[in-house]
Amino acid sequence: MDNDLREVSFTEMKHGSKEEYEFLTPLFQEHQRQTLADEVLAMLMKLQGPKLGYKVDRYEHSLQSATRALRDGADDELVVCALLHDIGDSIAPDNHSQLAAAVLKPYVSDKNHWIIRHHGVFQGYYYFHHMGQDQNARDQFKDHEHYQACADFCENYDQNCFDPDYDTEPLATFEPMVRALFGKQPVEYV
């Protein structure tokens, strides 16, 4: 294979060679390192807009969540998780927790991934009963090792983040943490 390869020869992935995939992998990884944080921050910015009946929009809610985690002394990873926990709202409102968790999974601990993946059902503890649903739906996970951590996340960094008078930190406070998290080597998973 030519050492000056600038483009693969195949038009169907099944026809690619080992050399071509070895050529592509670092290009993709470098592109990912350069753009992933920007893409995730753009998803967060899409939460700006209508308040949808709340006192703050979902963007402000996310900033409040991260601010509370930061001020509570949480590590940077959990602060970023708090900031990004609802990034799926704009394109996956019915399974936003799973979308956010999928984005974060290669970069965060199993515990933080589990918290973000399940925060939607745990958040339901505060309002499901008003909508004819099971307030205690989260109890299906009662024996899981991260149950209490997720309950604490929702209590401390989610259900209480709708206050228009809260002294919320700006995005600039969190952007270096986001860039550091997504600049890490992702964990391989299946």
Domain assignment present for residue 28? The answer is: no
The burial class, CB within 10 Å (0-12 / 13-18 / 19+), for 33 is middle
- pLDDT of 4 reads 64
- pLDDT of 188 reads 65
Domain assignment present for residue 26? The answer is: no
Q: Are 160 and 67 in contact (CB under 8 A)?
A: no
Q: pLDDT (tens digit, 9 = 90+) per residue, 167-185? A: 999 999 999 999 999 988 7
CATH number assigned to the domain comprising residue 69: 1.10.3210.10
Q: Give every CB contact of residue 115 below 8 A, 6+ residues apart in sequence.
A: 81, 146, 149, 150, 153
Q: pLDDT (tens digit, 9 = 90+) per residue, 81-136? A: 999 999 999 999 999 999 999 999 999 999 999 999 999 999 999 999 999 999 99
Domain assignment present for residue 15? The answer is: no
Domain assignment present for residue 30? The answer is: no
Instruction: Collapse the DSSP code of 62 into the 3-class scheme (helix H, G, I; strand E, B; otherwise coil) and give the result.
Output: helix
- pLDDT exceeds cutoff 60 at 76: yes
Q: How many whole angstroms separate alpha carbon 33 and alpha carbon 181?
A: 10
- pLDDT of 1 reads 44
What's the mean pLDDT when you consider all of the chain? 94
Write out the residue range of the structural domain in which residue 109 sits.
42-183
Q: Which residue has the higher pLDDT, 11 or 5?
A: 11
Domain assignment present for residue 19? The answer is: no
Domain assignment present for residue 13? The answer is: no
Domain assignment present for residue 126? The answer is: yes
- pLDDT of 29 reads 80
- pLDDT exceeds cutoff 70 at 152: yes
Residue type, 10: F
Domain assignment present for residue 35? The answer is: no
Q: How many whole angstroms separate alpha carbon 175 and alpha carbon 187?
A: 21
Q: How many whole angstroms separate alpha carbon 96 and alpha carbon 92?
A: 5
| Number of domains present in the structure of the chain | 1
